[in-house]
Structure 1
Amino acid sequence: MKLEKDIIIVATRNKGKVMEFSHAFEPFGKKVVSMFDYPDLPDVIEDGETFFENAFKKAKTIGDAIGLPVLADDSGLCVEALNGQPGVYSARYAGEHGADQDNNLKLLAELEKQRLGEDTEQPLLSPAQFVCVLVLYDPVTGQHIEARGTVDGWITSQPSGNKGFGYDPLFYLPHLEKTMADLTMDEKQAISHRGHALRQLAEKLQQ
């Protein structure tokens, strides 16, 4: 699949994701445009059971609507102590329009329930994994490319950092002794789930 234009259309209205995609594609001379640039397009209902299903649905729906290749992302947090939740429901864990803070508070509350009677002085609550699935869909050919990235860490009861978005302040990286929200954009792109997926996508596009 070839991208001839100097823009990348990303099917998202998440400002944090737009910033990360813009940063990632800048070295390739690509400008990222998003659903903020196409305000008349409807939101896509993310009712898939997997990250791939949601990403593919978004990419295909928006791509077919505007007639151009579209990149879509579905990502989330899978927490071991919660049997993989919130997973595909990460963005709406505290409700359909849940804000980041509400989602984080609910996550901590659910994990606190799991450790009743345990050592409550331990700030690290559970192993967790961030997952990102990217789908680039071309409505002209009907072809799509999929890329997947993950990063492992722990959920901490002591949030830290004011960078990033979503669950980043709670996602602790033991080897760096920082949360995802403590990292600069370059640091985050180097190790994050979305960064890994983007590099994999770039390799596939060059094949």
Structure 2
Amino acid sequence: MKLIIASNNKGKIREYKELLEPLGYEAVSQSEAGINTEAEETGETFAENAAIKARAIYKLKKCAVLADDSGLSVDALGGEPGVYSARYGGLSSDGERCGLILEKLKGVSEEKRGASFICAIHFIRPDGREISVEGRCEGRIGYSPLGENGFGYDPIFMYGEKSFAQADAEFKNSVSHRGKALAELLKALEAEK
């Protein structure tokens, strides 16, 4: 089944293709589907933003759509960057945003560096029925960027003794917020059968 992923984020698209193609979905990015507009993310939660993006694509294409909104929530920063993860601090690169968080956490002790990756997925079936799910991955913020894999905040997000950017794709997908949200979506889809 053709499925449009409401994103052009290369890292996110790669992860979704790895997770969805073995399940029989032909996943394409919105640009691969010929959609060049971006829905304005005006929601106050990840779930609201995911729904806004999914509905905008569905309105244009009337086919299966998956949208997510995800980001990092840092305990010591009162949940920042949260829904502003992709544009945190008005900075344009992942490296700059990681650097800003590390700077803000200078002098913060290990036990107060807790953080969560959160992913809300909004899925719309070809007939218009909607499903919304969420996944979380608990970890902590390291002291410097580590690793070459991943994207976004992966180099500073520690899961156990490794950053997400040090983890291989199979391991990361099995424990990540996106992997967990997708597992919840698949459970919901199965329950509807």
TM category, shorter: over 0.9
Q: Deviations over 1:101-158 (max 9, x none)?
A: 111111112222xx3xx67xx6x761000000000024643x2101110011110112
Runs of 4+ in 1 over 3 A off after TM superposition: 38-41, 138-141
Q: In the alignment, what sits opposite 2:172?
A: 188
Cα displacement (A) at 1:83? 0.3
One of 110, 124, 128 as aligned partner of 1:137? 124
Q: Deviations over 1:137-180 (max 9, x none)?
A: 24643x21011100111101122111110000100112xx1111
* 1:149 correspondence with 2:135: yes
* 1:169 correspondence with 2:155: yes
Q: In the alignment, what sits opposite 2:36?
A: 41
Q: In the alignment, what sits opposite 1:25?
A: 20
Percentage identity across paired residues of the two chains: 40
Distance in 2 of aligned mates of 1:34 and 1:19: 10
Cα displacement (A) at 1:35? 1.4
1:1-207 alignment runs, 5 A limit: 5=1, 7-95=2-90, 98-112=92-106, 115=107, 126-138=113-125, 140-141=127-128, 143-174=129-160, 177-207=161-191
8 Å contact kept, 1:164–1:181: yes
Q: How many pairs were matched up?
A: 191
Question: For the aligned residues, what is the CA RMSD?
Answer: 1.7
Q: Deviations over 1:24-49 (max 9, x none)?
A: 01221222101121344311111110
Distance in 1 of aligned mates of 2:12 and 2:114: 24
For the pair shown, the structure with the greater C-alpha radius of gyration is 1
Distance in 1 of aligned mates of 2:23 and 2:14: 15
Amino acid in the other structure paired with 1:51: F
* TM-score, with structure 2 as normaliser: 0.93
Cα displacement (A) at 1:66? 1.1
Distance in 2 of aligned mates of 1:88 and 1:13: 17
Q: Which runs of 5+ in 1 are unaligned?
A: none
8 Å contact kept, 1:78–1:87: yes
Distance in 1 of aligned mates of 2:105 and 2:34: 38
